[in-house]
């Protein structure tokens, strides 16, 4: 097992564009850490620098206690799994998984033992003789995973490995990946733009934007205590409602709402953050309410999403599926003050 760390790592491409900006991040030994961010924010570049296939412009990369910034990829004892799994089409599953071991000159008996063990781990034991074209997408992805596992690396790097699978298979593979992580006890660094993947897989999630880390914390903390408006808006489906407010002392006023904040945030302009589930149809005594004009009600089985407006602002609320509301109706919703957020209107930083 191994830890890995980025210490003030910056990547500037030839055109001068900064892909990764002063990144400081430690992946702990045995941890499943997910880097989450929109497309183009620098996730793959960060991962590729750790793998050694991309040069570092500034800073230091360590694996365990060793500085590997200039160590060639083959000496870093890690394996990388990509979105495109690039299996050798003319080779069986067994041979695909055995390939790198053969290159290393590992002896036949050892290869057979390691491939069989890895095949068990990823659930491919019955399919070892198949060719890739006779496998489903999920099975092919498991071959790619198996191919990484046979090498028995200290550290696994994953670059959006599930994005080419359909939703159901992705859900299944998420569960498989967690089991495999537990079984191997290895260190996993996983990058994705998919917040559901990040929230379900990660022991911790590192949210990234424009080359810069925004927040690194366990999923629950990221969800409940986003450090800024970007993180708040990026995590959660549907996303948090963000409502511009004018603040005066403890009073926050929106276009059609007024809320007494738990304390004076010492701001004049802010953005109030209310998750859809923090709005509910039965306001308790003393709870502030908002008056929502409903445009659309979406019943999802376990809950119901109401889309509409409060004054000038678009709002989504997650309410009881049995509540009967139709287009054009108004509904009064209580605001759960325990779970509201306030962001600085200038910096976007969370202040409450
Ligand atoms: N080889 C390259 N040359 C120049 N710019 C690159 C190169 N690779 C990536 N970039 C740029 O760096 C930024 C980050 O890219 P990338 O790390 O691939 O993002 P992500 O994986 O988060 O989608 C993007 O703006 C991208 O265009
Ligand atoms: Mg990428």
* HEC assignment per residue over 74-106: HHCCEEEEECCCCCCCCCCHHHHHHHHHHHCCC
3-state SS, residue 190: strand
Tell me the mean pLDDT in the region 77-96: 91
The beta strands (E) that lie in the chain are given as 4-12, 18-27, 32-36, 58-63, 66-67, 78-82, 155-159, 187-192, 204-209, 212-217, 241-248, 251-253, 258-260, 269-274, 279-280, 289-299, 304-310, 313-319, 330-335, 340-344
In this structure, the residue with its CA closest to atom 26 of ligand 1 is 40
- Is the bond preceding residue 238 a cis peptide, omega within 30 degrees? yes
Mean pLDDT of the chain: 94
83: pLDDT strictly greater than 90: no
Atom of ligand 1 nearest to the CA of 54: 1
Phi then psi for 246, rounded to 5 degrees? -95, 135
Identify the pLDDT of residue 85. Answer: 76
Tell me the mean pLDDT in the region 201-223: 98
Tell me the mean pLDDT in the region 297-311: 94
Distances (CA, A) of 280 to 66, 206, 252, 330: 53, 31, 20, 14
d(CA 349, CA 206): 17
DSSP conformation class of 250? T
Ligand nearest to the CA of 19: 1
| 219 CA from centroid of ligand 2 (Å) | 21
What angle do the packed helices 108-122 and 137-149 form, to 10 degrees? 130
pLDDT tens column, 238-253:
999 999 999 999 999 9
Task: Name the CATH superfamily housing domain 238-344.
Answer: Nucleic acid-binding proteins (2.40.50.140)
What angle do the packed helices 137-149 and 93-103 form, to 10 degrees? 20
* HSE toward the beta carbon, residue 55, CA cutoff 13 A: 5
Helix H or strand E segment including 45 = helix 43-51
Cβ atoms within 10 Å of 73's Cβ, excluding its own: 14
DSSP conformation class of 159? E
CATH number corresponding to 4-230: 3.40.50.300
Identify the pLDDT of residue 233. Answer: 96
| 312 CA from centroid of ligand 2 (Å) | 37
Is residue 20 lining ligand 1, measured as CB closer than 6 Å? no
Q: Which of 19, 163, 194, 212 to mutate to test the pocket of ligand 1 (most atoms within 8 A of CB)?
A: 19
58: pLDDT strictly greater than 60: yes
Cβ atoms within 10 Å of 278's Cβ, excluding its own: 20
1: pLDDT strictly greater than 60: no
Per-residue burial over 220-234, b = 16 or more CB atoms within 10 Å of its CB, e = otherwise? eebbeebbbbbbbbb
Residue with tokens 């060793």: 66
Ligand nearest to the CA of 35: 1
Identify the pLDDT of residue 14. Answer: 87
Atom of ligand 1 nearest to the CA of 47: 17
| 50 CA from centroid of ligand 2 (Å) | 14
pLDDT tens column, 115-171:
999 999 888 999 999 999 999 988 998 999 999 999 989 899 999 999 888 888 888
Distances (CA, A) of 215 to 207, 221, 223, 233, 345: 5, 10, 11, 13, 19
Q: Is-same-fold flag (4-230; 238-344)?
A: no
User: Which residues on adjacent β-strands are paired with residue 248?
Assistant: 251
What angle do the packed helices 167-184 and 108-122 form, to 10 degrees? 130
Atom of ligand 1 nearest to the CA of 46: 17
| 19 CA from centroid of ligand 1 (Å) | 6
This prediction's pTM:
0.94
Identify the pLDDT of residue 90. Answer: 96
Tell me the mean pLDDT in the region 6-21: 94
Tell me the mean pLDDT in the region 75-79: 92
Length of the chain (residues): 352
110: pLDDT strictly greater than 80: yes
Identify the pLDDT of residue 25. Answer: 98
| 299 CA from centroid of ligand 2 (Å) | 34
Q: Exposure of 147 by Cβ count < 10 A (0-12 exposed, 13-18 middle, 19+ buried)?
A: buried
* Cβ–Cβ under 8 Å, residues 92 and 129: yes
Is residue 55 lining ligand 1, measured as CB closer than 6 Å? no
pLDDT tens column, 177-200:
999 999 999 999 999 999 999 999
User: Which residues on adjacent β-strands are paired with residue 335?
Assistant: 279
| Higher-pLDDT residue of 168, 33 | 33
Atom of ligand 1 nearest to the CA of 191: 21
In the chain, where the domains are located: 4-230, 238-344
| Token code pair at residue 131 | 């060719």
Identify the pLDDT of residue 245. Answer: 98
| Token code pair at residue 212 | 């810069």
* Cβ–Cβ under 8 Å, residues 323 and 281: yes
Residue 32 pLDDT level (bands cut at 50, 70, 90):
very high
Is residue 42 lining ligand 1, measured as CB closer than 6 Å? yes
Question: Maximum CA pair distance of the chain?
Answer: 75
């Amino acid at each position: 097992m191994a830890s890995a760390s980025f210490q003030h790592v910056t990547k500037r491409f030839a055109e001068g564009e900064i892909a990764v900006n002063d990144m400081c991040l430690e992946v702990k030994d045995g941890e499943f850490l997910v880097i989450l961010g929109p497309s183009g924010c620098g996730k793959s570049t960060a991962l590729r620098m750790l793998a050694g296939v991309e040069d570092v412009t500034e800073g230091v990369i360590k694996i365990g206690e060793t500085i590997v910034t200039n160590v060639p990829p083959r000496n870093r004892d890690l394996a990388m799994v990509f979105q495109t799994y690039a299996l050798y089409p003319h080779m069986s599953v067994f041979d695909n998984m055995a390939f790198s071991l053969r290159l290393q000159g590992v002896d036949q008996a050892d290869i057979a033992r390691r491939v069989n063990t890895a095949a068990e781990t990823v659930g491919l034991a019955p399919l070892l003789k198949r060719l890739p074209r006779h496998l489903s997408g999920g099975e092919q992805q498991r071959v790619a995973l198996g191919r990484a596992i046979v090498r028995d690396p200290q550290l696994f790097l994953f670059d959006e490995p599930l994005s080419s699978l359909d939703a159901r298979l992705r859900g299944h593979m998420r569960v498989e990946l967690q089991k495999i992580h537990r079984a191997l006890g290895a260190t996993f660094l996983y990058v994705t733009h998919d917040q559901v993947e990040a929230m379900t897989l990660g022991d911790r999630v590192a949210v990234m934007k424009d080359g810069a880390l925004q927040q690194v914390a366990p999923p629950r903390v990221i969800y409940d205590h986003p450090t800024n408006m970007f993180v708040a808006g990026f995590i959660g489906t549907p996303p948090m409602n963000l409502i511009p407010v004018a603040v005066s002392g403890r009073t926050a006023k929106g276009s059609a709402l007024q809320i007494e904040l738990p304390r004076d945030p010492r701001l004049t302009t802010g953005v109030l953050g209310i998750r859809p589930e923090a709005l509910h149809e039965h306001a308790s005594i003393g709870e502030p309410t908002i008056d929502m004009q409903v445009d659309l009600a979406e019943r999802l089985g376990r809950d119901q999403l109401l889309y509409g407006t409060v004054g000038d602002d678009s709002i989504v609320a997650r309410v009881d599926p049995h509540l009967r509301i139709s287009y054009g109706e108004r509904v009064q919703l209580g605001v759960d003050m325990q779970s509201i957020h306030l962001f600085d209107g200038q910096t976007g930083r969370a202040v409450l």
